[in-house]
A and B are shown apart, each in its own frame.
Chain A
Amino acid sequence: MTKLLDVKNLSVSFGGLKAVNQFEIQIGSQELVGLIGPNGAGKTTVFNLLTGVYTPTEGSILLDGNSLIGKGSNKIVNMGVARTFQNIRLFKNLSVIDNVKIAFQSQMKYSALAAVLRLPSYWKEEKLFEEKALDLLKIFKLENFAYQKACNLPYGEQRKLEIARALATEPKLLLLDEPAAGMNPSETNELMETIRLVKEKFEIAILLIEHDMSLVMGICEKVAVLEYGSIIASGSPEQIQNDPRVIASYLGESD
């Protein structure tokens, strides 16, 4: 079976620091994979490499057999990799629904001239994608906030809106960078349930960065552990929990 995402030997350095070193991961379609590791291990940097924010110094990234290396961020989105950010990056002064509609960019087709002349294509697409955006917001129970500014949302809701926006790009692979950061335990549980639901409903693969190990173990089918930029273990949650290296360097920590 060919993998959806196949990453080999991925490395990048900042000055003298090898932030990511010989990183490897394989993700099958509709797989939910957790990426864990201590602070500064290089998890976010991996996301930045996968989405074209940084260019790797070596290594290969294949999505469905196509290389993502050297492609611009927006190209990579159109090829099917969407992401959220560890420090929420919403379009703060725009409405919640516009945040989602912006991500429909590549699916909307009407020209600037059609917008100026208010041709039927403008009205048709605006109506269609307004409804699509509302459907997405409903999944995250955000529909009542649709016409408010995104910056007025409570913190947890902002994180959900970022996921909704990422889903609007119709990804095959969704990268979530600590989606539950700053949430209380019950909010976190609800979010994880939603993430599982989203995976089933949209039939996508998810790579999830999480600090809290127990949380990842709960929902992920596969877990990879990153330390000093390299994968030190990967496998099923049970395998990871019993891996001596992981226990020594990570589980042992009183983080």
Chain B
Amino acid sequence: MNVLKKKIPSYIVNAISVIAIYLIISQLVWIGVINNYYLGIIIVIGINIILSTSLNLTTGFLGQLTLGHAGFMSIGAYASALFSINANLPESIEFYFALLVGGICAAIVGILVGIPALRLRGDYLAIITLGFGEIIRVIILNLDFTGGAKGLFGIPYATNFTNVFFIMLLTIYIIWTVIDSRHGRAIKSIREDEIAAEAAGVPTTYYKLFAFTLGSFFAGIAGGLYSHYILIIDAAKFDFNRSIEILVIVVLGGMGSLTGAILAAVTLTILPEYLREFSEYRMLIYAVILIFAMIFRPKGLLGTSEFSLLKVFQFIKRKVIG
């Protein structure tokens, strides 16, 4: 079967759905159904989707547990914020340069952390990223130019629904096209069996570093979006709990499923907002839901499968037309 012909229909369906979602949400904002409070939640959902799809690259597809994703997010957040505060570029492009700076800084640190951790077989990455997340938090707390414990002020407001939405799309698109290529197959083969991957000619150290660095890059981008939305950042916003929150999204959505991570990011961002009414019990209920999810769907909502709109449409068509 021709590879191209097989994939084109799903490309078209996905593109149309994505545009439809964007138009519907912006229309709802326009007529006032979605107020600023909801819009804020939607922006956070977008940022969480970037965080969880990028973590999924390392933890879901590569199969290496990472416990410091918030650390990379913080590097992106501070680097891009400092860039925006200090640079004097035209307003329309400054934000995008700032995001890029945030992503690149996070990626460089990713390489530095990844090289010693990923050359070894086994779960060294979990331990090293756990340590890294805490170290970076302490460093930020003790430096002057990061604002220390007071936090960093004066970040220009630049993140909005439209740019979050399209940067989120771009992130998903890039990660998905990489996964659906020879590079992605190499990454997945390492998760399946590292020794067999080597025996099949896969340069495993290279691909481990590649996936981890790309994941760190997008965590940095997410950090940049976050700092230009929240406007005041401090080290406590990127602590170990934040890393675990992102990890829970990936685990619940399905390790190695992009659509699973997206669905879980939406659910797990909205859920705590609703549970706010029971704020005393909020984290408790959250935990119980997670425990039940782990009992009944131990591989996550979708496991390693992907949700396909095209298949849904084909299913409906079969049911309706017969």
Is residue A212 contacting chain B, with contact meaning CB distance below 8 A? no
Contact A53 B188 (CB under 8 A): no
Q: Nearest Cβ in chain A — how far from B130, in angstroms?
A: 27
Is residue B182 contacting chain A, with contact meaning CB distance below 8 A? yes
Q: Nearest Cβ in chain B — how far from A108, in angstroms?
A: 5
Q: A147-191, CB under 8 A of B: which get 1 and which 0?
A: 000000000000000000110110000000000000000000000
Is residue B242 contacting chain A, with contact meaning CB distance below 8 A? no
Residues of A within 8 A of B200 (CB): 77, 102-103, 105, 165-166, 168-169
Residues of A within 8 A of B198 (CB): 72-74, 77
Contact B3 A127 (CB under 8 A): yes
Contact partner of B178 among A78, A91, A116, A126, CB < 8 A? A116
Q: Nearest Cβ in chain A — how far from B299, in angstroms?
A: 10
Closest chain B residue to A73 by CB distance?
A: B198
Interface size class of B (residues with CB under 8 A): 20 to 34
Cα–Cα, bound, A105→B3 (Å): 18
Contact A91 B189 (CB under 8 A): yes
Residues of B within 8 A of A77 (CB): 198-201
Contact B178 A115 (CB under 8 A): yes
Contact partner of A102 among B2, B177, B185, B210, CB < 8 A? B185
Is residue B88 contacting chain A, with contact meaning CB distance below 8 A? no
Is residue B181 contacting chain A, with contact meaning CB distance below 8 A? yes
Majority SS at the chain B contact face: helix
Contact B182 A74 (CB under 8 A): no
Residues of B within 8 A of A108 (CB): 182
Scoring B173, B180, B182, B199 by chain A CB atoms within 10 A of each residue's CB, the highest score goes to B199
Residues of B within 8 A of A58 (CB): none
Contact B185 A98 (CB under 8 A): yes
Contact B3 A89 (CB under 8 A): no
Is residue A83 contacting chain B, with contact meaning CB distance below 8 A? yes
Interfacial residues of chain A within 112-160, with CB under 8 A of chain B in the complex: 112, 115-116, 118, 122-123, 125-127, 130
Residues of B within 8 A of A73 (CB): 195, 198-199
Contact B199 A85 (CB under 8 A): yes
Contact B203 A115 (CB under 8 A): no
Interfacial residues of chain B within 196-216, with CB under 8 A of chain A in the complex: 196-204, 210
Cα–Cα, bound, A103→B173 (Å): 25
Is residue A51 contacting chain B, with contact meaning CB distance below 8 A? yes
Residues of A within 8 A of B196 (CB): 85, 89-91
Residues of B within 8 A of A102 (CB): 185-186, 189, 197, 200, 202
Residues of A within 8 A of B192 (CB): 90-94
Cα–Cα, bound, A125→B202 (Å): 17
Closest chain A residue to B181 by CB distance?
A: A115
Residues of B within 8 A of A211 (CB): none
Cα–Cα, bound, A106→B4 (Å): 22
Residues of B within 8 A of A78 (CB): 201
Is residue B174 contacting chain A, with contact meaning CB distance below 8 A? yes
Q: A89-B195, A93-B192, A127-B3 are known contacts. Are A101 and B202 too (CB-CB below 8 A)? A: no
Cα–Cα, bound, A118→B200 (Å): 25
Cα–Cα, bound, A127→B2 (Å): 7
Contact A74 B203 (CB under 8 A): yes
Q: Nearest Cβ in chain A — how far from B196, in angstroms?
A: 4
Residues of B within 8 A of A250 (CB): none
Contact A53 B195 (CB under 8 A): yes
Residues of A within 8 A of B2 (CB): 127
Residues of B within 8 A of A83 (CB): 199
Cα–Cα, bound, A90→B199 (Å): 11
Cα–Cα, bound, A78→B202 (Å): 9
9 closest cross-chain pairs (CB), A and B: A115-B181, A73-B198, A91-B192, A89-B196, A77-B201, A103-B200, A116-B177, A108-B182, A102-B189
- Which A residues form the contact surface with B (CB < 8 A)? 51, 53, 72-74, 77-78, 82-83, 85, 89-94, 98, 101-106, 108, 110, 112, 115-116, 118, 122-123, 125-127, 130, 165-166, 168-169
17 A-B contact pairs sorted by A residue (CB < 8 Å): A72-B198, A73-B199, A74-B203, A93-B304, A102-B185, A102-B202, A104-B182, A105-B201, A110-B182, A112-B210, A115-B183, A116-B173, A116-B174, A126-B181, A127-B4, A166-B199, A166-B200
- Which B residues form the contact surface with A (CB < 8 A)? 2-4, 173-174, 177-178, 180-186, 188-189, 192-193, 195-204, 210, 256, 304
Contacts A72-B198, A91-B193, A93-B256 given; 10 further ones with Cβ under 8 A? A77-B198, A89-B193, A91-B196, A103-B201, A105-B182, A105-B200, A105-B201, A112-B178, A116-B177, A126-B3
